[in-house]
Amino acid sequence: MLVFRYEKARLKELQEFFIWEFKIGDNIKYNLDIIFNLVEDYNNGKNYKKPISILSVSVIEAIMVDFVYRLYRGTKHFPEKLKDREDEIKDKLSNALIKNKKTSMDLLRVFLKILVFLK
């Protein structure tokens, strides 16, 4: 049996606090609805392990891509812990985004480079 840590309504409420791009947030809400429905069916005997896994990973990817957008476009809302390195991070993002096609996988690569850079 699969269970969630939070109810669907609570997850949507939490999402409102950290999603930067509306389109990405809308995608996450849609995928969460599907995941909740698939898990409910899974708990009633259907075998939906693979679609649940794939959609869960897509939600994680969307959250990471949204974080990159926030770092890139953030002004007043730049994460407080990274504030002292804001210019440096934005320069790296600008260079990486110019070189890439700006697909979600490219943004994910940029996100991972930023994480390595921040260590």
For residue 77, the one-letter residue type is H
Going by C-beta distance under 8 Å and a sequence separation of 6 or more, which residues neighbour residue 62?
24, 27, 28, 31, 104
Per-residue confidence (pLDDT) for residue 111, from 0 to 100: 64
Mean pLDDT, rounded, of the chain: 76
Residues of the chain with pLDDT > 70: what percent? 73
* Alpha helices, DSSP H, located in the chain: 8-18, 22-43, 49-73, 86-99, 104-118
The rounded distance, in Å, linking the Cα atoms of 36 and 54 is: 13
3-class secondary-structure state, position 15: helix
Indicate the pLDDT class of residue 114, thresholds 50, 70 and 90. Answer: low
Per-residue confidence (pLDDT) for residue 15, from 0 to 100: 75
The structure's pTM equals 0.63
